[in-house]
Structure 1
Amino acid sequence: MRDNIYATPQDKVEDFTFDRSVVEVFPDMIQRSVPGYTTIVSSIGKLAKQFQQSNSNIYDLGCSLGAATISMRKFVDADNCKIIGVDNSEAMVERCRLHVNAFKSDIPVEIQCNDINNIKIKNASVVVMNFTLQFIAPEQRQALVQKIFDGLKPGGVFILSEKFRWQDENINNALNDLHLDFKRANGYSELEISQKRSAIENVMKIDYHDAHIQRLNDVGFNSVSCWYQCFNFGSFIAIKS
């Protein structure tokens, strides 16, 4: 279904939430809003295969409709692996379970409706946060990333995809303009872009690119890199030695 949520003028633009109206249009919304999304999701599955370990858990934190979960399920084949997807939106979880169950695989998947700040990460070989950390309160991010590091097995990987910004305003403005052009080219009007910005500015707090690297290093990751970037969106890989 096409994303027309912000296509008509709204007297008051409410804060963005992952409710049923968003669930219905989410695949279209994210494809038309996030450059490189398809490449990131497909590559997450391949990275999961590289770093999978037998007798371990694989986490998709903020799993939404299950795109990264299904991508990993296509590639993971280690013995006694389990994929655990977590999201705090009941509407997302309900639809995610349908998507996951429609994809047949021997790898078991459990989809939980929960706050990822409240769950335990244990015996993990792979942890994925695909455009999720940016919706976590900034003061909670360090503790969450530390929990992920502590729950990873040696040799495990954390894959973190985010929208980010730069302290250099010239770079920041140039890449932001490219992103806006991307949305226009995908059919979003100036009204839609403006109203979506108003809806999301209070709920999605974007970190600086270098702040992500610093946080990953601070919690204990020694091998950290941005493995993919398109405009002001990208994905980091952090390996626990």
Structure 2
Amino acid sequence: MSEPDRLFAQPHARVTDFAFNEDVVRVFPDMIKRSVPGYATIVENLGVIAAQFAQPKTALYDLGCSLGAVSQSLRRHVQQDAVKIVAVDNSPAMIERCREYMAAQSAMYEQLQPIEIIEADILNLQLEPSSVIALNFTLQFIVPEKRLGILQRIHHALHPKGALLISEKVRFEESTEQMLIGDLHIAFKRANGYSELEIAQKRSALENVMLIDSINVHRERLLEAGFSSVTPWFQCFNFISLIARP
């Protein structure tokens, strides 16, 4: 069971870089709900959107799957025959809990799509022919110089009628807009019970780990990787989700 997120509630003598370790896994559902506006809406609708692009005899990837929320949505919504869902993460703690969640989902529902859960670095993963690939708040944790390369590999693996579904926290290029939206995100966290100490310490933990881009940078990089179109379908404050077509 998930615990309340109190990881940064007490003063830390030294705030270390954020890592998806066992401590984070224990509180991750609560953390993501209270930190990412619109997260539940994104996850549920990624399954709905994936169902429109899934092609038979292809893989559907959830890259950087964490606890497998997107994979669960794909399993519920995609009805296409002969597809396989592949959930991948490089955190052993995340993968262990993800397997538990998938087993529980399989016990609750009949006729779910099969799923393969892999502990691996997605930068080194050999992608099978795919029709849907989800990067749900994953690219922002990959070093910037390697982002174009993985998008090019994803584009190469995708079926012509498939799609990349990518969600990210973004920055805004105009300073007053960035300040406004940033302040609103902090207000969202306060409204969800985070203290000023928690907000500040988590920001420090993430500043060297989660490196965010603007919407224009995302669009230009996706086009450079070979995608023909990039369509935003969701935004809440500084969190967006895009559909990129091959």
The TM tier, using the shorter chain, reads over 0.9
Of 182, 192, 206, which residue of structure 2 is paired with 1:200? 206
Equivalent position of 1:4 in the other structure:
6
Paired residue secondary structure (1:7): coil
Cα distance in structure 2, aligned partners of 1:5 and 1:106: 35
Q: Which residue number corresponds to residue 75 of structure 1?
A: 77
Q: How big is the shift at 1:77? A: 1.4
Q: CA deviation at 1:223?
A: 1.9
Aligned residues: 240
Cα distance in 1 between the residues matched to 2:14 and 2:115: 40
| Cα distance in 2 for residues equivalent to 1:52 and 1:71 | 13
- Name the residue aligned to 2:223: 217
1:111 has 2:117 as partner:
yes
2:183 aligns with 177
Displacement of 1:166 in angstroms is 1.3
Residues 134 and 204 of structure 1 are in contact (CA less than 8 Å); yes or no, is this contact kept in structure 2?
yes
AA aligned to 2:15 is V
What's the counterpart of residue 23 of structure 1?
25
Shift in Å, 1:106? 3.6
Q: Is the 8 A contact 1:121 1:152 kept in 2?
A: no
1:122 deviation in Å? 2.2
Quote the Cα distance in structure 2 between the aligned partners of 1:144 and 1:169: 30
Distance 1:100 1:30 in 2: 19
> Is 2:32 the counterpart of 1:66?
no
Q: Select the residue among 13, 34, 37 that pairs with 2:36.
A: 34
Native 8 Å contact 1:125 1:153 kept in 2: yes
Answer whether contact 2:89 2:122 (CA < 8 A) is retained: yes
Distance 1:206 1:218 in 2: 18
Percentage of matched positions with identical amino acids: 52
Separation in structure 2 between the aligned mates of residue 213 and residue 223 of structure 1, nearest angstrom: 9
Separation (CA, whole Å) in 2 of partners of 1:149 and 1:82: 18
Q: Is contact 2:76-2:112 (8 Å) kept?
A: no
- Confirm whether residue 131 of structure 1 aligns to residue 133 of structure 2: no
Q: Where does structure 2 lack aligned partners over 5 or more consecutive residues?
A: none
Q: Tell me the amino acid that sits aligned with residue 97 of structure 2.
A: R
Q: Is the 8 A contact 1:57 1:126 kept in 2?
A: yes
2:171 corresponding residue in structure 1: 165
What letter matches 1:211 in structure 2? V
Q: Report the AA paired with residue 131 of structure 2.
A: S
Per the normalisation by structure 2, the TM-score is 0.96
AA in 2 matched with 1:177: D
**Structure 2 counterpart SS, 1:58:** strand
Query: Which of 153, 157, 167 is the equivalent residue of 2:159?
Result: 153
Deviates more, 1:118-127 or 1:61-70: 118-127
Alpha-carbon distance between aligned partners in 1 of 2:4 and 2:147, rounded to the nearest angstrom: 32
Q: Which residue of 1 aligns with 2:47?
A: 45
CA-CA distance at 1:130 after TM superposition: 0.4
- 1:117 maps to a residue whose letter is L
Contact 2:133 2:163 in 1 (8 A): yes
- Deviation of 1:21 (Å): 0.5
Contact conserved, 1:65 with 1:93, CA < 8 A, in 2? yes
Q: Take 2:122 and 2:115, find their aligned partners in 1: how far apart are those partners?
A: 17
The runs of at least 4 aligned residues of structure 1 exceeding 3 Å deviation read: none
